[in-house]
Amino acid sequence: MQKVFENCYALDERCYESYGLSEDILMEHAAAGMADYIRKHFPKGTSVLIVAGTGNNGADGIALGRQLHGDYEIKLHIPFTLHSEMAKRQFERARLLGLKTVDEVSQTDIVVDALFGAGLNRNIDEATEHLLHQLNAMKAYKIACDIPTGVGVKGTLMPMAFHADVTLTMGAYKEALFLDACKDVVGELLRVDLGVSSLFYEGESHTCLLERCDLKLPSRREQSTHKGSFGHAAVFCGEKEGAGIISGMAAATFGAGLTTLVVHEKITPPPYLMHSTVVPDNASAMAIGMGLGCHFESEFLQKYVVKSHLPIVLDADSFYNEEILAVLEQKDREIVITPHPKEFVVLWKVLTGEQLTVTQVQEKRFEMVRKFNDRYPHITILLKGANTLIMQEERLYINPLGCSKLSKGGSGDVLSGLIVALLAQGYTAIDAAIQASLALVIAAHQYEGASYAMLPTDLVEEIGRLEYTVKG
Ligand SMILES: NC(=O)C1=CN([C@@H]2O[C@H](COP(=O)(O)OP(=O)(O)OC[C@H]3O[C@@H](n4cnc5c(N)ncnc54)[C@H](OP(=O)(O)O)[C@@H]3O)[C@@H](O)[C@H]2O)[C@@H](O)CC1
Ligand SMILES: Nc1ncnc2c1ncn2[C@@H]1O[C@H](COP(=O)(O)OP(=O)(O)O)[C@@H](O)[C@H]1O
C-alpha cells in the first residue's frame, strides 16, 4: 500500500525546513529520476524532445536535458517565456553546457512533457492545445514529468491533455492522477524519489493506493473445519435472477461455507447454491440489490433486511429503494455499499436532496466519497469506476488496478458476491471491500481470453484460480 497526497507542496517545504534540502537538490533528483528511466530503457543516441513550460515543471525538463546532453540527441523546446527562478537557472546551466533550443517540434524517439505539472491552475490556451495535439500525434514514446499537462490541480481533465505512456511522478503520488478520466492519459505510473527515501519525504496521509501485494485470499490453512466454519452468505435474488445467481456463484467460489439465494419464486440455480424463500437462520452476512427490482414485499424487507443486524452489502437496485436505504442509519452493523456513479447520484439525492449529474460525480469522485463519509463514517462506501474508491472512517483507499475487461454487465454482481463471501467469513466491512475489490481486478487481469470477451462466469472461474496466481 502506498500513500497518496492531494499535492506535494507541503512535503517539499518539509524537505527544505527539516532536512536542509534545497529546491535545487530536489529538482536535480527529479531530473535524475527521469534520466535514469531513459538510460535504462533507451540506448545512447536516442533522440529526445523535451517540451518545457514556464514554471518548475519546465525547470525539471530543462535539467533533464542538461543531464542527458552529450549521450542523447536532445531537442529542447521552450514555447513560452520562462517565469520561475529555477527554470531560468536551469536554462542558464543548460546554455553554459551548449544545449541549444529548437523553435519547432519535430519527430523524435521520445517526447518528454514538462509543460505544466502540479501548478496547472487554469485552462490551457489554444496555442498549448495545438502543441499538445502535435505531441500526441507523434509516433514517439511519451513521458510525462510529474503530471501530464492537461490534468488540473483538482484532477479535472482538460479537453486537451498530453497522453503519456509513462508518468514519472515526483516524490509522492497525487490524487489528481487517479481520477477515472485521467487513467488513459497517465499511462504507467512510477514514482521518483527526491533525494530522501519516501519514508522521510512523505508525511501522514489518510489516502492509500492499493497494490497487488495487498491481496490476502481467504485462508483454508486449518484442516479441522467444516462448512459452518466459513460462514453462510445469503444473496437476494430478484426480478433479474441472473444477477443474484452470478453473485451467489462468486460468493461460493470465494470461500463462503454455504451460500443461499433468497428467492421469491422457484429458480434453477447451479447445484452448489441453495435457495430459500427466507433468509436462513444461520446466515452470517447478506447481499441485496443485484437485479432485485420490486420483487420483495415491504414486510419481508423489514423483517429480513432492515431489522436484521447481519453484515450487509447494498448494491444496484437497493439505491432506488428507500426502505432498504434505512439500513444506512444502523450504526452497529457492518455495511458495505457499492454504487456505480449513476447509482451514487440517486443515493445522494435521496440522502441530501442535492441533484448531481454523473459527470459532476466523476469530476469530483474523491470529494463526493469524502462528503458521503462525513455523513456516514461507519459505512464502507465502494464507488465503482476505472479507479475504484473505498472509504470508511477517515481512510480512503484507491484501487487503480482495474481494466476495461470488467466493463460488462455482471462484473458488479461478481464483486458484491465476493464482498458478501468475506463478510460471511468474518471480515470487517472495510477489509471485505478492499480484498474483494483487489480479487476482482486481479482475476480480470489473469483472464487470458480476448479483452472484450470476458463473461462474469469467466471472472468467477478466475477467482477460483487466484491462489495459484498469488503463489506465483
Ligand atoms: N517544488 C519543488 O521543490 C519541486 C517541484 N518539482 C516540479 O515542479 C512542478 C511544479 O512547479 P510549479 O509549481 O512551478 O508549477 P508548474 O506546473 O510548472 O506550472 C506553473 C507555471 O505555469 C503557469 N500556468 C499555470 N496554469 C497555466 C495555464 N493554464 N496556462 C498558462 N500558464 C499556466 C503558472 O503561471 P501563473 O499562474 O504563475 O501565472 C506558472 O508559471 C512539479 O510538477 C514538478 O515537476 C520537482 O522538481 C520536485 C521538486
Ligand atoms: N474500465 C474499467 N476499469 C476498471 N474497472 C472497471 C471498468 N469498467 C468496469 N469496471 C468495474 O467493473 C464493475 C462493474 O460494476 P457494475 O457497473 O455495477 O456492473 P453490473 O451491475 O452490470 O454487474 C465495477 O467493480 C467497476 O469498478
Instruction: Give nearest CA residue, ligand 2 atom 21.
Output: 412
Q: What is the DSSP letter of 5?
A: E
**What are the cell numbers at 137?**
500525434
By three-state DSSP, how is residue 321 classified?
A: coil
* More reliable by pLDDT, 293 or 429: 429
Ligand 2 atom nearest to CA at 387: 4
By three-state DSSP, how is residue 397 classified?
A: strand
Q: Which residue has the cell 462525513?
A: 374
From residue 122, how far is each of 90, 135, 226, 413 by CA, in Å?
25, 20, 61, 40
Q: Does 455 appear as a known binding residue?
A: no
* pTM over the 0.90 mark: yes
Q: What is the DSSP letter of 341?
A: H
Mutate to test the pocket of ligand 2, among 318, 407, 434, 454 (most ligand atoms within 8 A of CB): 407
Ligand 2 atom nearest to CA at 456: 23
In 10 A of CB 470, how many CB atoms? 14
Mutate to test the pocket of ligand 2, among 384, 442, 457 (most ligand atoms within 8 A of CB): 384
pLDDT single digits (tens) 370-393: 999 999 999 999 999 999 999 999
Longest dimension (CA), the chain: 82
Mutate to test the pocket of ligand 1, among 82, 91, 116 (most ligand atoms within 8 A of CB): 116
Distance of CA 84 from the midpoint of ligand 1 (Å):
8
Distance of CA 256 from the midpoint of ligand 2 (Å):
23
CA-wise closest residue to 147 among 190, 186, 179: 186
**What are the cell numbers at 189?**
505510473
With a cut of 90, say whether residue 265 has pLDDT above it. no
Could you give the CA distance from residue 122 to residue 139 in angstroms, rounded to a whole number? Answer: 28
Q: Does 233 appear as a known binding residue?
A: no
With a cut of 80, say whether residue 463 has pLDDT above it. yes
Mutate to test the pocket of ligand 1, among 54, 82, 156, 157 (most ligand atoms within 8 A of CB): 54
pLDDT single digits (tens) 127-143: 999 999 999 999 999 99
**What are the cell numbers at 248?**
451467489
pLDDT single digits (tens) 162-209: 999 999 999 999 999 999 989 999 999 999 998 888 888 888 899 999
By three-state DSSP, how is residue 282 classified?
A: coil
Distance of CA 38 from the midpoint of ligand 1 (Å):
23
What's residue 203's pLDDT? 83
Q: Identify the structural domains of the chain with CATH numbers, from first to last.
A: 2-205 (3.40.50.10260), 213-471 (3.40.1190.20)
With a cut of 90, say whether residue 20 has pLDDT above it. no
Ligand 1 atom nearest to CA at 16: 3
CA-wise closest residue to 233 among 276, 194, 199, 197: 276
What's residue 471's pLDDT? 64
Average pLDDT score over residue span 406-413: 97
Ligand 1 atom nearest to CA at 114: 45
pLDDT single digits (tens) 22-39: 889 999 999 999 999 999
From residue 103, how far is each of 50, 94, 194 by CA, in Å?
12, 16, 31
Residues with CB under 6 A from ligand 1: 12, 23, 26-27, 30, 53-58, 60, 83-84, 116-125, 145-147, 170, 194
Distance of CA 443 from the midpoint of ligand 2 (Å):
13
Residues with CB under 6 A from ligand 2: 316, 340, 384-386, 388, 402-404, 406-407, 409-413, 415
Q: What mean pLDDT is reported for the chain?
A: 94
Half-sphere exposure of 201 (CA within 13 A, CB side): 23
pLDDT single digits (tens) 316-360: 999 999 999 999 999 999 999 999 999 999 999 999 999 999 999
Please, which pLDDT band fits residue 264 given cuts at 50, 70 and 90? confident
Mutate to test the pocket of ligand 1, among 57, 80, 88, 175 (most ligand atoms within 8 A of CB): 57
Q: Does 365 appear as a known binding residue?
A: no
Distance of CA 395 from the midpoint of ligand 1 (Å):
29
Mark 277-295 as b/e (b = at least 16 C-beta within 10 Å).
eebeeebbbbbbbbbbeeb
Could you give the CA distance from residue 65 to residue 52 in angstroms, rounded to a whole number? Answer: 10
Q: Does 149 appear as a known binding residue?
A: yes
pLDDT single digits (tens) 141-163: 999 999 999 998 776 888 899 99
Residue 192 contacts residue 171 (beta carbons within 8 Å)? yes
Q: Does 117 appear as a known binding residue?
A: yes
Percentage of the chain beyond pLDDT 90 is: 81
Q: Does 60 appear as a known binding residue?
A: yes
Among the residues of 277-377, which ranges form H helices?
298-301, 322-325, 341-352, 358-363, 365-375
pLDDT single digits (tens) 87-130: 999 999 999 999 999 999 999 999 999 999 988 888 899 999 99
Could you give the CA distance from residue 242 to residue 414 in angstroms, rounded to a whole number? Answer: 11
This complex has an ipTM of 0.89
Ligand 1 atom nearest to CA at 171: 48
Helix (H) or strand (E) holding 108: none
Ligand 2 atom nearest to CA at 290: 21
With a cut of 60, say whether residue 472 has pLDDT above it. no
Among the residues of 353-453, which ranges form H helices?
358-363, 365-375, 411-424, 429-446
Instruction: Give nearest CA residue, ligand 1 atom 31.
Output: 124
Q: Does 387 appear as a known binding residue?
A: yes
What's residue 270's pLDDT? 87
Could you give the CA distance from residue 34 to residue 56 in angstroms, rounded to a whole number? Answer: 15
Distance of CA 409 from the midpoint of ligand 2 (Å):
8
Instruction: Give nearest CA residue, ligand 1 atom 28.
Output: 124
Average pLDDT score over residue span 308-316: 97
Distance of CA 97 from the midpoint of ligand 2 (Å):
52
From residue 385, how far is each of 207, 246, 361, 425 by CA, in Å?
17, 20, 11, 26
Q: Does 57 appear as a known binding residue?
A: yes
